[in-house]
Amino acid sequence: MRDVLRDRARGCLLGLAAGDALGAPAENLTPAEIRRRWGRLTEIEGGGTDDTEYAIFAASLLALHGHALTPAVVAAAYRSQIIPQVNGPMRGAGFSELGTVEALRRGLEPPLSGLVHSHGWSDGLAMRAAPYGIFCPGDPAEAARLVEQDGLVSASGEGILGGRAVAGAVAAAMTGAEPREVVSAALSVIPADSWTARNVIRARDVLDRAAPLSPAGGDDLDLVEALHEAVVVRHYPWTDVAPEAVALAMAAYLAGDGDVEASVTFAVSLGRDADTIGAIAGALAGAGRGQYGVPERWALRIMPVTGKCLPVVAGLHVFDAADELADDLVDKMAGELAEGL
């Protein structure tokens, strides 16, 4: 049991980090510009972004508090571990996290801290939701409940729903469920009439009508355009919109049939918030395929994080976070089993 959970947990966070790093140079670019520069982005050029660092931070909170995690606990962690180390602007942080730091500095508490900055729809929670799914394998509802405790500090509305969808999906992927079941799990933990759910369903419908991905990506232009037409808010100046990023990531995961490389390379080819889209697709595929489902050449490029956005996690590797979550989960299961005997 421990080995299986470790393998899937490592695969999930390694896939997240790989998608983050692969998509980083393509962030905010159009699919056409990505193709002009790289053809198909397949090789990691540099490190990851705040997506990986915040996922590690979320994992550390879960390992410490488990199912007892509350918004007050998360807010206290921001105040004790993040805010004291912020000298000047937070490099690479998203709108929702920047707004949250300012709100907490002003003495506001959740859920108001996630409401007042007007960026609650951001994909900042979705990008760090994977650890909650790792911690709740086979229980999408509990994964969604836990990630919402985190989200109430920095997000609201569709931003929280995006996090719930990703956490629920990862919880299903951790059991080895097929991609269609994983996406169904995501939909099961958010309202059917939400923007996020409608976008995920639209993206899934596009995939149902599409031809399989081409190995080199040269013939996928029609699919990319169809997905953009289905879910992208073209007139909005920013790309970190949770309903958009979550839907595109799940579409990429479905298009790649759960294969890590196929899912992630297609995800980052979609442009927009490419690092987060890649990170979510990588987390889902990695949870399903495990550590060795992530291409070795990518895995070798994933180093301990530098802490450029969150100094508190500097020097940690995604494996540190994955192993701690898996081991805590196994110990908890063993304890519950012993109590029942």
Sign of CA pseudo-dihedral 259, 23, 137, 141: negative
Answer whether 296's CB lies under 8 Å from 20's CB. Answer: no
Each residue of 34-47: b (16+ CB within 10 Å) or e? Answer: bbeebebbbebeeb
Judge whether residue 1 has pLDDT over 90.
Answer: no
Instruction: Enter the pTM of the model.
Output: 0.95
Judge whether residue 94 has pLDDT over 90.
Answer: no
Q: pLDDT tens-digit profile of 172-228?
A: 999 999 999 999 999 999 999 999 999 999 999 999 988 778 765 556 888 999 999
Strand-pairing partners, residue 122, are 241
Which domains does the chain show, CATH number per domain? 2-332 (1.10.4080.10)
Answer whether 277's CB lies under 8 Å from 284's CB. Answer: no
Per-residue confidence (pLDDT) for residue 241, from 0 to 100? 94
Per-residue confidence (pLDDT) for residue 136, from 0 to 100? 97
Per-residue confidence (pLDDT) for residue 96, from 0 to 100? 81
Cα angle 126-131-133, degrees, rounded to a multiple of 5: 85
- Return the HEC string of the chain: CHHHHHHHHHHHHHHHHHHHHHHHHHCCCCHHHHHHHHCCCCCCCCCCCHHHHHHHHHHHHHHHHHHHCCHHHHHHHHHHHHHHHCCCCCCCCCHHHHHHHHHHHCCCCCCHHHHCCCCCCECCCHHHCHHHHHHCCCCHHHHHHHHHHHHHHHCCCHHHHHHHHHHHHHHHHCCCCCHHHHHHHHHHCCCCCCHHHHHHHHHHHHHHHCCCCCCCCCCCHHHHHHHHHHHCCCCCCCCCEHHHHHHHHHHHHHHCCCCHHHHHHHHHHCCCCHHHHHHHHHHHHHHHHCHHHCCHHHHCCCCCCCCCCCHHHCCCCHHHHHHHHHHHHHHHHHHHHHHHC
Answer whether 17's CB lies under 8 Å from 52's CB. Answer: yes
Per-residue confidence (pLDDT) for residue 91, from 0 to 100? 63
Q: Which of 244, 243, 209 is nearest to 226 (CA)?
A: 209
Q: pLDDT tens-digit profile of 7-50?
A: 999 999 999 999 999 999 999 999 999 999 998 899 999 889 99
Residue found under tokens 């530098």: 306
Higher pLDDT, 29 or 116: 29
Judge whether residue 89 has pLDDT over 60.
Answer: no
Euclidean distance between CA atoms 49 and 65, whole angstroms: 25
Judge whether residue 168 has pLDDT over 70.
Answer: yes
